[in-house]
């Protein structure tokens, strides 16, 4: 019986012999005990885009074959069972999916880590395409329950809102508040075959039993019960905006709700002296930064900074200086965007109404912060204005990114180019003052879900050559370089890709009633619909390719199936118009007999994690074409590359580092670089210049403007007959009615 034990800071693993349950129990207890002694990571995010859990759990626990066999013996089909699970769509896009990948990675690396967020009753909306337009439907993902979660009412915590502050000689009290209870639900997060399971804890809002009890005295019992919904609405629905700030009171409530409940949990756990003991014995908060690491996933959980200060100063009675030192050394901030419309700036009036004590704390943080700036840069009043946490112009607002930078010991972007832009532009003043705070941490993806689970054929071909250890250490993929010219390896890779394409073709034909050529190039762009991601540029290319085929129908064209998928925020009109354009182009192209199977256009309805797991392994070409300097990182680009797709893209986000790793000659890089975009901004952009200079572009834009892609199927067919056979031009002009005297 060989057993081993290895433990050090931020790392704890164990090996056990399954035939010896006694020793296993001892080692398991040692593992739990180690959680007390070493740092715990608390990853706070308003979004966790988890997708389905069953298959991923089987992969990580090495149970796939056993479960397949067991269900087969019962006369059941495992894939059918997997399809019954609802996606946990508690996120909008990259930020939420990154959080989900991080949980998998932290467990697989043996880190004592917890994910904290909100258990939204309704996640990201389900997208239906009706007559070519996006229609939103509520995502009632919990209607049949969630077998992966366990309610933990014993750890329920009160969260306070509204009220007022009272200043006394012994400190400040926040009184006359409205209380909402935070009920935690725990979901296990297993590491990859290491017998370690971490926890994602999501909070659900519950009204306390005495909510609006005063109404009972005036006969308002029914109304009092109904008003409980006002409190419980906090965890009702995920805001469906990606890279856009919506300054609603409910959203700020959500942000403070998760932060307050989480910090109460963190402090409770910190105070416990050893595993299993609930006595409050640790009161020396100086040790907190050594035991607790809080990572803020964007500015959404920024309230953790003033809330931690409130807890330490008002409740634990620490001095401001000591509390601030603890706060800064404990918190770290990840920035996800440079887009101005996405940066959170909360109105001071709303803050004063909802969180009066926290506004006082933010003002005090800002006062001390400005004192430091004034001392370091005397007389530079413009710098004071730029770096203040409070924006004075017009309506006073709190800049949450500035709060995060000042209150954290580390600030990181999510790709090298993004981090460089942060230091050179929006956070330039902060970087000049505290350059040691700024880092880069390029986003990543978990290879368990995005290769082993969704593309087992490719994972097996790789394992046959270099073994399975690459699943834990992806750098080992470098070993594949010696097989670059190995015909058998190339043939095996191509076979897997074709099998994936055939399988996805069946799915597409079943759902979209369009005949797919599985030998065509699968050209895929899947991400949230946004102007900066440039699905519109993709549309112009599709139209141009269509026009070229129509112009020279007898030429040998490479067959291409273009797929675009993604959701538009419900209030984002332009994004919805882009979806309508894509579907309209598909209606024309897919029904044109001249084009045939040389070009098909599919809009992938209701793009989500589960659909990504089908589409990405089948892709030949990955479209990563955002305007340089706008995409923070992108992680879809990595998923496609890991699954063997070639990349066409701009030098933006993580594309830059992918090009450095793979060699720029192995990606189809085009378009302006960041410096070129900045130069064009300064010069001024004249769209008409490009329109007049490029005949194919002019033709495509004229077709869109002229309604060529607007007609329904019967109208389109007759329009083509009229123009191309009968020599007539259709008109939408309405004739006057016979009895119309005008």
CB atoms within 10 A of CB 180: 26
pLDDT at position 214, please?
A: 61
Per DSSP, the three-state class of 126 is strand
HEC profile of 627-674: CCCCCCCCCHHHHHHHCCCEEEECCCCCHHHHHHHHCHHHCEECCCCH
**What H or E segment, with its residue span, contains residue 60?**
helix 54-60
Strands 5-8 and 11-14: antiparallel
E-state strands within 142-301: 150-151, 157-161, 164-168, 171-175, 178-190, 197-206, 292-297
Strands 438-440 and 410-413: parallel
Rounded-to-10 torsion of CA 355, 357, 359, 361: -140
Q: How far is CA 395 from CA 255, 359, 427, 484, in A?
A: 21, 15, 22, 60
Q: Going by C-beta distance under 8 Å and a sequence separation of 6 or more, which residues neighbour residue 110? A: 11, 12, 13, 191, 194, 196
Max mean pLDDT range (22-36, 268-282, 313-327): 313-327
User: DSSP string of 211-238?
Assistant: TTGGGGGGT-HHHHHHTHHHHHGGGTB-
Read off the pLDDT of each residue in 626-645 and give the average, rounded to a whole number.
98
Read off the pLDDT of each residue in 460-484 and give the average, rounded to a whole number.
96
Read off the pLDDT of each residue in 32-51 and give the average, rounded to a whole number.
82
Chain length of the chain: 742
Q: How far is CA 224 from CA 162, 176, 283, 512, 734, in A?
A: 19, 18, 40, 49, 57
Q: How far apart are CA 92 and CA 103, in angstroms?
A: 17
What is the percent of the chain with per-residue pLDDT over 90, rounded to a whole number? Answer: 85
Read off the pLDDT of each residue in 270-282 and give the average, rounded to a whole number.
66
pLDDT at position 281, please?
A: 63
Phi, psi of 442 (to 5 degrees): -60, 130
Q: Which of 417, 302, 392 is nearest to 659 (CA)?
A: 417
- pLDDT band, very low/low/confident/very high, at 28 (cuts 50, 70, 90): very low
Ranges 208-212, 336-340, 407-411: which has the least confidence: 208-212
Phi, psi of 601 (to 5 degrees): -125, 120
pLDDT at position 733, please?
A: 76
Q: How far apart are CA 720 and CA 550, in angstroms?
A: 12
Per DSSP, the three-state class of 389 is coil
Q: How far apart are CA 282 and CA 274, in angstroms?
A: 10
Q: In this structure, are residues 629 and 589 in contact, taking their beta carbons and an 8 Å threshold?
A: no
Indicate whether 448 pLDDT > 60: yes
Q: In this structure, are residues 438 and 453 in contact, taking their beta carbons and an 8 Å threshold?
A: no
- pLDDT band, very low/low/confident/very high, at 735 (cuts 50, 70, 90): confident
- pLDDT band, very low/low/confident/very high, at 280 (cuts 50, 70, 90): low
Q: How far is CA 522 from CA 543, 580, 598, 647, 679, in A?
A: 17, 21, 12, 12, 35
- Residue 314 DSSP code: I
Q: How far apart are CA 217 and CA 616, in angstroms?
A: 60
Q: Which of 535, 526, 505 is nearest to 604 (CA)?
A: 526
pLDDT tens digits along 307-329: 999 999 999 999 999 999 999 99
pLDDT tens digits along 208-224: 987 666 655 656 788 87
| Structural domains of the chain, with CATH | 1-158+182-206+232-343+407-440 (3.40.50.2000), 517-706 (3.40.50.2000)
HEC profile of 432-482: HHCHHHEEECCCCCCHHHHHHHCCHHHHHHHHHHHCCHHHCCHHHHHHHHH
Instruction: Tell the residue number behind the tokens 């704890």, with chain if given.
Output: 12
pLDDT at position 720, please?
A: 74
Q: How far apart are CA 295 and CA 333, in angstroms?
A: 6
What is the overall mean pLDDT for the chain? 92
pLDDT tens digits along 115-165: 999 999 999 999 999 999 999 999 999 999 999 999 999 999 999 999 999
Q: How far apart are CA 93 and CA 528, in angstroms?
A: 7
Sequence-ordered alpha helix ranges (H) in 480-554: 487-512, 535-551
Q: In this structure, are residues 575 and 533 in contact, taking their beta carbons and an 8 Å threshold?
A: no
Ranges 269-273, 662-666, 693-697: which has the least confidence: 269-273
Indicate whether 511 pLDDT > 80: yes
- pLDDT band, very low/low/confident/very high, at 292 (cuts 50, 70, 90): very high
Instruction: Tell the residue number behind the tokens 């002009």, with chain if given.
Output: 733
Q: Which of 402, 433, 427, 434 is nearest to 413 (CA)?
A: 427
Torsion sign over Cα 188, 192, 193, 198:
negative
Per DSSP, the three-state class of 45 is coil
pLDDT at position 2, please?
A: 31
pLDDT at position 226, please?
A: 83
Q: In which region does residue 653 sit, left (phi positive, over 0), alpha (psi from -120 to 50) or beta (all else)?
A: left
pLDDT tens digits along 693-726: 999 999 999 999 999 997 555 866 777 788 788 8
Q: In this structure, are residues 448 and 480 in contact, taking their beta carbons and an 8 Å threshold?
A: no
Phi, psi of 729 (to 5 degrees): -115, 120
Q: In this structure, are residues 49 and 100 in contact, taking their beta carbons and an 8 Å threshold?
A: yes
pLDDT at position 80, please?
A: 95
Q: Which of 619, 645, 623, 643 is nearest to 634 (CA)?
A: 623
CB atoms within 10 A of CB 130: 7
Q: How far apart are CA 422 and CA 701, in angstroms?
A: 35
Partners of 49 in the β-ladder:
89
pLDDT at position 211, please?
A: 66
- Residue 194 DSSP code: S
Q: How far apart are CA 680 and CA 688, in angstroms?
A: 14
Q: Which residues are catalytic?
A: 336, 527-528, 533, 635, 639
pLDDT at position 282, please?
A: 72
Per DSSP, the three-state class of 56 is helix
**What H or E segment, with its residue span, contains residue 257?**
helix 249-271
Strands 621-624 and 646-649: parallel
Per DSSP, the three-state class of 292 is strand
Instruction: Tell the residue number behind the tokens 């759902």, with chain if given.
Output: 511
Q: Which of 207, 188, 210 is nearest to 199 (CA)?
A: 188
pLDDT at position 20, please?
A: 41
């Amino acid at each position: 019986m060989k057993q081993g034990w290895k433990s050090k800071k931020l790392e704890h693993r164990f090996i056990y012999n399954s035939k010896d349950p006694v020793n296993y129990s001892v080692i398991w207890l040692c593992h739990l005990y180690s959680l007390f002694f070493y740092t715990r990571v608390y990853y706070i995010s308003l979004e966790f885009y988890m997708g389905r859990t069953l298959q991923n759990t089987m992969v990580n626990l090495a149970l796939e074959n056993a479960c397949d066999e067991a269900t087969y013996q019962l006369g059941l089909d495992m894939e059918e069972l997997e399809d019954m699970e609802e996606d946990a769509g508690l996120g909008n896009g990259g930020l939420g999916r990154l959080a989900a990948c991080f949980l998998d990675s932290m467990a697989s690396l043996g880190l004592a880590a917890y994910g904290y967020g909100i258990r939204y009753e309704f996640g990201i909306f389900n997208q239906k395409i009706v007559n070519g337009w996006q229609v939103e439907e509520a995502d009632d993902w919990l209607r049949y329950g969630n077998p992966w979660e366990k309610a933990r009412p014993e750890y329920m915590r009160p969260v306070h809102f509204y009220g007022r502050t009272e200043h006394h000689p012994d400190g400040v009290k926040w009184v006359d508040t409205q209380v909402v209870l935070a009920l935690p639900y725990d979901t296990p997060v297993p590491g990859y075959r290491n017998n370690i399971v971490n926890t994602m804890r999501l909070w659900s809002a519950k009204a306390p039993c005495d909510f609006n009890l005063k109404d009972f005295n005036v006969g308002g019992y029914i109304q009092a019960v109904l008003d409980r919904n006002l409190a419980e609405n906090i965890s009702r629905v995920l805001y469906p905006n990606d890279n856009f700030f919506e300054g609603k009171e409910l959203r700020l409530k959500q942000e403070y709700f998760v932060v307050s409940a989480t910090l109460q949990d963190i402090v409770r756990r910190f105070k416990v002296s050893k595993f299993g003991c609930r006595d409050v014995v640790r009161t020396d908060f100086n040790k907190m930064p050594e035991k607790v690491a809080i990572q803020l996933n964007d500015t959404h959980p920024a309230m953790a900074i003033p809330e931690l200060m409130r807890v330490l100063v008002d409740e634990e009675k620490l001095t401001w200086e000591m509390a601030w030192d603890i706060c800064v050394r404990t918190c770290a901030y990840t920035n996800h965007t440079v887009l101005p419309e996405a940066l959170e700036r909360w109105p001071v009036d709303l803050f004063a109404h909802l969180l009066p004590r926290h506004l006082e704390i933010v003002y005090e943080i800002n006062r001390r912060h400005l004192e430091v700036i004034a001392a370091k840069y005397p007389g530079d009043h413009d710098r004071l204005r730029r770096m203040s946490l409070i924006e004075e112009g017009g309506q006073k607002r709190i800049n949450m990114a500035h709060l995060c930078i000042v209150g954290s010991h580390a600030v990181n972007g999510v790709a090298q180019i993004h981090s460089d832009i942060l230091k050179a532009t929006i956070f330039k003043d902060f970087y000049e003052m505290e350059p040691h705070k700024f880092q880069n941490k390029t986003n990543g993806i978990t290879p368990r879900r995005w290769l082993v689970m969704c593309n087992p054929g490719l994972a097996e071909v790789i394992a046959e050559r270099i073994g399975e250890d690459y699943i834990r250490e992806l750098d080992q993929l470098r070993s594949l370089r010696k097989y670059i010219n190995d015909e058998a390896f190339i043939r095996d890779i191509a076979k897997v890709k074709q099998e994936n394409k055939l399988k996805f073709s069946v799915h597409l034909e079943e759902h979209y009633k369009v005949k797919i050529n599985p030998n065509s190039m699968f050209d895929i762009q899947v991400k949230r619909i946004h102007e900066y991601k440039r699905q519109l540029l993709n549309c112009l290319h599709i139209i141009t390719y269509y026009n070229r085929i129509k112009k020279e129908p007898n030429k040998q064209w490479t067959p291409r199936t273009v797929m675009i998928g993604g959701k538009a925020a419900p209030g984002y009109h332009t994004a919805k118009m882009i979806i309508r354009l894509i579907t309209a182009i598909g209606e024309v192209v897919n029904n044109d007999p001249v084009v045939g199977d040389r070009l098909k256009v599919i809009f992938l309805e209701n793009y989500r994690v589960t659909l990504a797991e089908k589409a990405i392994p089948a892709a030949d070409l990955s479209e990563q074409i955002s305007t340089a300097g706008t995409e923070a990182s992108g992680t879809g680009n990595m998923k496609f590359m890991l699954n063997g797709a070639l990349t066409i893209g701009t030098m933006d986000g993580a594309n830059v580092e992918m090009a450095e790793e793979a060699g720029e000659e192995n990606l189809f890089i085009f378009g302006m670089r960041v410096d070129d975009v900045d130069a064009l901004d300064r010069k001024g952009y004249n769209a008409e210049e490009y329109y007049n200079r490029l005949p194919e572009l002019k033709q495509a834009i004229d077709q869109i403007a002229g309604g060529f892609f607007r007609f329904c199927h019967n109208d389109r067919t007759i329009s083509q007959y009229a123009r191309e056979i009968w020599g007539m031009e259709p008109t939408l002009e309405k004739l006057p009615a016979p009895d119309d005297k005008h």
